Amino acid sequence: MNVSDFLVHIKSVYPSLTKREKKVAAYISENYNKIVFTSLNEFAKECGVGEATVFRFFKKLGFTGYHAFKVDMAEQLRHPERDDVQLETDHTYQNIIQMLDDTKRLTSVEKLKQVAQTIVNSQSIYLFGIGFSGLAAQGAQIRFMRLGYKTFVFSDPHAQLVSSHLMTADDMAIAFSITGDTIQTIDWLHTAKQSGATTLAITNHARSDITKIADMNIYTAGKEVAQEGSTLVTEMSQLYVIEQICHYLYEMDYERINKVKQKIAESID
């Protein structure tokens, strides 16, 4: 296991660790390059735990003990593994990276801030989409709701149509469409606009029909949509845009969002 894999492994088991074991995990994540020069006793003191806790921690991660971990870590720091060959053959990984880079180039900070401000000023947000774009809409609903914004999404086409008629000038409609030519999504967004709502389209295609209707447009990127249709990789570009918008929502509406997060946390506890 190389250093990067080990740190990822720590993250994967972190929720199952005890409070003291989490101290060990946190220390390693920040100081992994110093551990090979530290004795067990010194390491335990640095973590603020007992040696028994250190032993249990490394057992959970598949080592026989602290010494075995140090030997493995020292070897990896001397001879780090190269992942270049694997990455060259991992087309899905490369597609995701390329797609996110392309989407980042297509989105401007000014437009993202404009969308975020519209969300802050809206009474309710309605999300529309079909297929993979429908999944992105559902993900966006959960994300916005956890920040305190009243957000609606309906999987039933009839319910989406009805909701588009019920919107007002105080609401915002966000439509997800990879192609930008999905007839139902276009119709729903058009009806929402006629109802007075501010409209946003999130799509891959700048000259598609949906961009002619929406008040605002954010463009995403994907890989080989024409050849293979929309994929989960392409959906990630839509979710990436939503996460960018959420970043600016935090900046603009921090106090409100923080209060909501506290309420949610208290109810979960």
Question: Do 33 and 107 reside in the same domain of the chain?
Answer: no
Please tell me whether residue 214 adopts helix, strand or coil conformation.
Answer: coil
More confident residue, 33 or 254: 254
Question: Do 54 and 96 reside in the same domain of the chain?
Answer: no
- pLDDT tens digits for range 45-61: 999 999 999 999 988 88
C-alpha distance from residue 223 to each of 43, 107, 179, 188, 218 (Å) = 47, 17, 12, 27, 17
pLDDT at 225 over 50: no
How high is the mean pLDDT of the chain?
86
How many domains are there within the chain?
2
The segment with the largest mean pLDDT, out of 58-62, 167-171, 180-184, 220-224, is: 167-171
Q: Give the angle 167-168-169 at the CA atoms, nearest 5°.
A: 140
Question: Do 161 and 217 reside in the same domain of the chain?
Answer: yes
Q: Do residues 134 and 156 touch, judged by C-beta distance below 8 A?
A: no
Question: Do 64 and 112 reside in the same domain of the chain?
Answer: no
pLDDT attached to residue 224:
46
Please tell me whether residue 127 adopts helix, strand or coil conformation.
Answer: strand
Nearest Cα residue to 57 out of 16, 90, 92, 88: 16
Question: How much of the chain, in percent, has pLDDT values that exceed 90?
Answer: 53
- pLDDT tens digits for range 178-190: 889 899 999 999 9
More confident residue, 77 or 4: 4
Worst-scoring range by mean pLDDT, 40-44, 101-105, 182-186, 227-231? 227-231
- Reading the block at residue 265, the tokens are 């946390």
As a whole number of Å, the CA-based R_g of the chain is: 24
**What's the mean pLDDT in 166-188?**
95
One-letter amino acid at 190 equals H
Question: Do 45 and 140 reside in the same domain of the chain?
Answer: no
pLDDT at 230 over 60: yes
| Alpha helix positions (H), 122-213 | 132-145, 157-166, 183-194, 209-213
**pTM here?**
0.69
Report if residue 86 sits inside a domain.
Answer: no
pLDDT attached to residue 101:
86
Last residue within a domain, chosen from 78, 106, 127: 78
- pLDDT tens digits for range 115-149: 999 999 999 999 999 998 999 999 999 999 999 99
Q: How many helices (H) and strands (E) does the chain have?
A: 15, 5
- Which CATH number goes with the domain that contains 12? 1.10.10.10
Domain membership of residue 73 as a residue range: 3-78
Q: Do residues 237 and 107 touch, judged by C-beta distance below 8 A?
A: no
Q: Do residues 124 and 166 touch, judged by C-beta distance below 8 A?
A: no
Cα–Cα distance, 250 to 255 (Å, whole number): 9
One-letter amino acid at 56 equals R
